[in-house]
Each structure stands twice: as structure tokens, then as C-alpha cells.
Amino acid sequence: MILNDDQRAIRDIARRFAREKLLPHYQAREKSGVLDRRLLREMGELGLLGADLPETYGGLGLAGTTIGVIAEELAYGDFNISAVQVGVSLLGAIIMASARPELVAKYVPAMIAGEKLLGICVTEPSGGSDAAAMKLRARRDGDHYVLKGEKTSISFADRADAFIVFARTGTPEQGAAGVTAMMVDADTPGIARTKFDDVGSAIVGRGSVFFEDVRVPLTNRLGEEGQGFSHVMRGFDYSRALIALECIGCAQASLDEAWAYVKEREAFGGPIAKFQGVTFPLVEQESLIAAVRELSYNALALRDAGLPHTAEAAMVKWLGPKTAFDTIHQCLLTFGHYGWSKDLPHQQRMRDVMGLEIGDGTAGIMKLIVARERVGRAAVQYAK
Ligand SMILES: Cc1cc2nc3c(=O)[nH]c(=O)nc-3n(C[C@H](O)[C@H](O)[C@H](O)COP(=O)(O)OP(=O)(O)OC[C@H]3O[C@@H](n4cnc5c(N)ncnc54)[C@H](O)[C@@H]3O)c2cc1C
């Protein structure tokens, strides 16, 4: 994608922040396991969070393609910090589209400022892919819902300030039509949270959220009762393309480091860059990364133009994390025995991007979505 002047300006801000503030401490942050809220506030001040959301709430009203540019740049410095930015745009859009004005005013400006961190609770212990079969119960009691059950595998579970929670208000037979979404503050009585010991993304902190008779005002509902599922699905087309660009940005960092290394490292009397057995695998990955990048921006451009982009977003959501993982793996090998050391960031980047081969929908589910876009319901005959 060729950037316009405005996109270049915000790219330069994101790039400077990512390379000066994020990249040098990417590995130290993993060791600490702490999500430094000061970084989020700094991103808020720089206009890097929720830049697509309306100016009245503190955003900049920018296009989705520009949000992709920011995601790619931030992920170059720290894949996990870019997850916060993608989350603000995804969840901010869901809230804007369906919450009462008082709720929008309570959450969206604080998210854009980097003051409030939100999580989204869809997955349950019994399953994530078949999200419409969720069981967490929301029973009506006067002017409140009462939540009972467990959500699991939730990003930012133990550190979010609030959650968008999807719960069953209808019967199990209603499937997706019986699901309602609502805003729930993390300090509401009856909520308990855990943190998992994950393969990667330590500062995101994935875990379970338990709801024991948690009372949520009906006014916290997003959209109408039973419409929760359609809201989240619409938003995911957007975040899938952004996630692919996060993965591309992260892989590009390893590629750039590998290109620099092959010019310096010597073997058999000269730099290893003279061996095509060294450079061609990097060229192959650079080519694949470039292709996924363009397809991702195409999905975002279609969204910005109000055109369908479900298939394109699902394509890059499976291809992006996989291509990034393969690329970083190749870079790790290029560094020889140094690559195998935890002193270098490639192993961490590989572990971090791998999470998004599962999170936000697995490759299998993405391929199912593309097939459904091509042949319709015949692709999912078994679905309820
Ligand atoms: C890093 C990370 C972050 C996450 N963050 C969140 C979050 O913030 N909020 C949240 O709600 N969830 C989150 N999740 C959970 C994630 O959305 C689910 O793990 C995912 O949807 C898959 O669900 P599952 O793990 O229950 O696998 P299952 O649904 O049990 O699937 C198991 C396997 O079977 C395959 N499979 C299942 N059905 C089909 C089918 N019809 N066709 C082909 N293959 C199929 C899947 O691809 C998978 O490989 C996160 C997960 C990870 C790893």
C-alpha cells in the first residue's frame, strides 16, 4: 500500500515510539510479566490508541488502513503492546456501535487515553470455536442481569479494568440468537480472575474469569437482548486484518535483523550473505510477508469503502500468523547457535505470534469462513 502524507506522519510517530521505547525492552518486559500502564498512557498521548474512533471521544477519526499501519509499526517493537492498540480499535468500535451514550462516554475516551484496559469474554471451558454454544448464564432480576459461570482463555484476564461479556439470555436451542453482550467492570462483586502460565505473550496475561452471581445493570447491555453475537462477529472482520498486520510487523523486525546479520557474520572467508543458501530463504519469507501485508491492507481498504471483506480478513488471519511464525523461525536459523539463545528475541517473537494461530479464531475456523463465503451454508452443514 502506498501511504498518503497523513499516514506517513502517524507511521513515523508509531515507528519512533516502537523502535526507541518498545523494542529495546521487549524481552525484559516478558521476564517481568508486567504490562506497564505508563506505556499505554504514552500511546494515548501520541494518538496511537483508537485513532479510528471519533474525535468527540478523543480519537482522530482515521481510516482502518491507517490503524493497520500503526499496528504493524507497534508490533515491530513489541507484539504484545500492539495487541492493546488493536483491542482499543476492535472493542471501541463494538461499544460505539451498540452502547448507550453514557456507556460510550464512560469507557471509550478512557480507552483512547490509555487509562482503561478492556478484555472480551467469549470463550468458555467447553469450547471457543463453537462460540454460539456458550453457556455462561445471564438471568434477569429486576433491572439487573445476574451472571453465573466461567469464561476462559481471556486476554488481559487478570489486568483488565472491564470486560465485554457475552452471556446466554435465551435457551441453548436458540444458539447465537440467545446470546447478549454487556459491559462488566472488573471490580464488580462476584468476579474472580486467574492467570495462565502461557507459551508466549506474558504481559498480555491470559486467564479465566469466574462470575458468581455478578449483578450487571440492564443499562450496561450492548444492543438488544439476543443480538450480542452479531455484534462481535462484525467486529472480528476488522481485528482479523489488524492481527495479520501485527504478525507481519513482528516478523519484519526479525527479518531486518537477519539481513543485517548476514552482512556481518563470516564463514568460509567472507560474509554469509554471499551464500544463496542463506539469502534465498530470507527472500522467500520477505516475499510472503509482503504478499500477506498487501492482502491485509486490501481487506482494510474494502472495510473503509464499506465493501464486504469477510473472506479477505479470514484469509489473512490464518495466513498471517503462520507466515510470520515461519519467517521468524527462518531468521532464528540464520543466526545459527546465537538464534537458539534466549538472549536474542526471535524465540520470543515465534512464541508470541503463535498464540494468534489460535486466538481470535483458529486457522481451521478461518478456512471454514472463507469456504462459507464461497459456497454458502453447504460449507457448514453440520452447524446449528
Ligand atoms: C493467545 C490467545 C488469546 C486469546 N484471547 C481470547 C480472548 O481475549 N477472549 C476470548 O473469548 N477468547 C480468547 N482466546 C480463545 C480463542 O478464541 C479460542 O481458543 C479459539 O476460538 C479456539 O477455541 P478452543 O481453544 O476452545 O478450541 P476448540 O474449539 O476446542 O477447537 C479445537 C481444535 O479443533 C479445531 N476445530 C474445531 N471445530 C472445527 C471445525 N468446524 N472445522 C475445522 N476445525 C475445527 C480447531 O481449529 C482447533 O484446532 C484466546 C486464545 C489464545 C490462544
Q: Could you identify the atom of ligand 1 that is nearest to the CA of residue 198?
A: 1
Return the CATH architecture of domain 119-226.
Beta Barrel (2.40)
Q: For residue 5, is pLDDT > 90?
A: yes
pLDDT per position as a tens digit, 44-91: 999 999 999 999 999 999 999 999 999 999 999 999 999 999 999 999
Distance 374 CA to ligand 1 centre (A): 23
Closest Cα to atom 16, ligand 1: which residue? 359
Distance 367 CA to ligand 1 centre (A): 13
Half-sphere exposure of 174 (CA within 13 A, CB side): 16
Closest Cα to atom 30, ligand 1: which residue? 127
First CA to last CA distance, the chain: 40
pLDDT per position as a tens digit, 335-344: 999 999 999 9
Q: C-alpha grid cell for residue 129?
A: 470455536
Distance 361 CA to ligand 1 centre (A): 5
What is the distance between the alpha carbons of residues 82 and 334, in angstroms, rounded to a whole number?
26
Q: Which of 171-175, 281-285, 364-368 has the lowest mean pLDDT?
A: 171-175
Distance 347 CA to ligand 1 centre (A): 23
Q: For residue 301, is pLDDT > 50?
A: yes
Q: Could you identify the atom of ligand 1 that is nearest to the CA of residue 127?
A: 26
Domain 5-116 has CATH 3.30.390.10: no
Q: Which residues contact 305 (CB under 8 A, 6 or more apart)?
A: none
Instruction: Please give the share of the chain, as a percent, with pLDDT higher than 90.
Output: 93
Q: Could you identify the atom of ligand 1 that is nearest to the CA of residue 357?
A: 53
Q: What is the pLDDT confidence band of residue 383, given thresholds at 50, 70 and 90?
A: low
Task: Tell me the average pLDDT across 327-332.
Answer: 98
Q: Could you identify the atom of ligand 1 that is nearest to the CA of residue 363?
A: 47
Element (H, E) at 146: strand 144-154
The answer to whether domain 119-226 and domain 229-380 are alike in fold is no
Domain boundaries, the chain: 5-116, 119-226, 229-380
Q: C-alpha grid cell for residue 253?
A: 523486525
Q: What is the pLDDT confidence band of residue 299, given thresholds at 50, 70 and 90?
A: very high
Q: For residue 384, is pLDDT > 50?
A: no
pLDDT per position as a tens digit, 109-163: 999 999 999 999 999 999 999 988 999 999 999 999 999 999 999 999 999 999 9
Q: For residue 232, is pLDDT > 80?
A: no
Helix spans in 213-308 (H): 228-264, 276-304
Distance 122 CA to ligand 1 centre (A): 10
| Chain mean pLDDT for the chain | 96
Fold of 229-380: Butyryl-CoA Dehydrogenase, subunit A; domain 3 (1.20.140)
Q: For residue 377, is pLDDT > 90?
A: no
Distance 359 CA to ligand 1 centre (A): 6
pTM, two decimals, is: 0.96
Q: For residue 34, is pLDDT > 80?
A: yes
What is the distance between the alpha carbons of residues 160 and 201, in angstroms, rounded to a whole number?
15
Residues with CB under 6 A from ligand 1: 119-123, 127-129, 153-155, 201, 206, 355, 358-362, 364-365, 368
